[in-house]
Amino acid sequence: VENDQGLEDPVRIVKVAVWDYSFIFKQSDVVWTDRAGCWEVDREYDEMNMKVIFENFNLKVRDLSYWLSLRVLRDQTRSFSVPLNNVYVRYDDIDDRREWAASHTHNTDLDYRDRSTFDGIPQPRLRLNYLLRRGSGRGAAPMLQGNPFNSYLSMLASYGWGGLYNIVSSHIQPDIANPYEDGDRASMFNAITHHELGHASHHTIEGESYWFHYRNHIIHNTGYGTFPGFLPGSSPGRVALGEAIGNYTGHIYGGTFFGGEATDFLNNFIPAGLMFDLEDTNSDFVTDPNTGVSTRDNVQGFTRAMIFDALEGTTDIENYGENLRNLHLSSTPTTPANYDDLIEVYDVFN
């Protein structure tokens, strides 16, 4: 698959189906590419058909333009004759834009799982449903697979035919959605996937008791909303904590602008820089965007595993800060006073 430099990245651990007919008998094999993007079939073929199917044991990639996302995305069928030791498939970022996006999704999912495992971060669920579509918009991690009653709206719909649809389609509902526009760079597209996978790890820890309210907040406010004008039924504390995690993984694994030193807050309440400030050694000022109160970040030493470990059972920045303090502060060189100052300035609801 083409990268930002016009060179090629291997498409790693993707399914390849191979088949041919001998008279009326079909012979077929299913294999996966390795981490170098190579694959082989042990059976001997004189001629063969093959297609790439964008799935593996970690994910299933769907695209709205392919069977309205009802089926896992498949590439076109390609036919080859002997010699069969030089089969070559390349996805261009213009002519094969859909497959380009699916290939980078495969690679980024594997990259996140590799790096987050090393860092001690809980893994996203297996067989994640990705929904891609060509066009503008923003990524999301609704985590809908296997969960037909996932918000107040879906529960209301259950009183009609919508409830039956929710049930029978729940296995194909998206966990992560990511649009791709013409001109998007692979690095940008992949960084958003890293952000959304941070949410998927958070969902592994907290599950539906957290995500149900998270989704409803976004539905009520047609997005995150902006402090302090949230509509009734909102859960801004959950959104603040959840988006702090997404921005963190987007930055540390995908290099996004948000989630590091450059941006402390989004929408006047999401502490986009909190998790990075818990980890890094840089001492800078953090300012509450609503009150103008500033404090110096003299916190350091929290590991990525510690940051995720403290998420369990917490629903806002205040109780997250208390949990992290109780679990791991003593394992860092940070003083309690400096720690409390940082949590307080990042918690606009205190």
The residues, any chain, with a CB within 8 Å of residue 267's CB and separated by 6 or more, are: 224, 225, 226, 227
Question: Which two three-digit tokens encode residue 95?
Answer: 């002519």
For residues 312 and 323, give the distance between their C-alpha atoms in angstroms, rounded to a whole number: 9
| Residue among 336, 284, 245 nearest 344 (CA) | 336
For residues 198 and 24, give the distance between their C-alpha atoms in angstroms, rounded to a whole number: 49
| Residue among 183, 16, 37, 193 nearest 108 (CA) | 193
For residues 73 and 54, give the distance between their C-alpha atoms in angstroms, rounded to a whole number: 6
DSSP for 20-56, written as a single string: EEETTEEEEEEEE--TTS----SS--SEEEEEEE-B-
pLDDT for 167: 63
* Unique residue bearing structure tokens 């073929």: 45
For residues 80 and 255, give the distance between their C-alpha atoms in angstroms, rounded to a whole number: 40
Q: How large is the angle between the packed helices 236-254 and 208-220, nearest 10 degrees?
A: 100
One-letter identity of residue 120: G
pLDDT (average), residues 187-199: 97
Is pLDDT of 211 > 70? yes
pLDDT digits (tens, 9 = 90+) for 131-177: 999 999 999 999 999 887 666 566 555 445 455 556 667 889 999 99
pTM for the full model?
0.94
pLDDT digits (tens, 9 = 90+) for 273-331: 999 999 999 999 999 999 999 999 999 999 999 999 999 999 999 999 999 999 999 99
> pLDDT averaged over the chain?
92
Q: Which tops the pLDDT comparison, 232 or 277?
A: 277
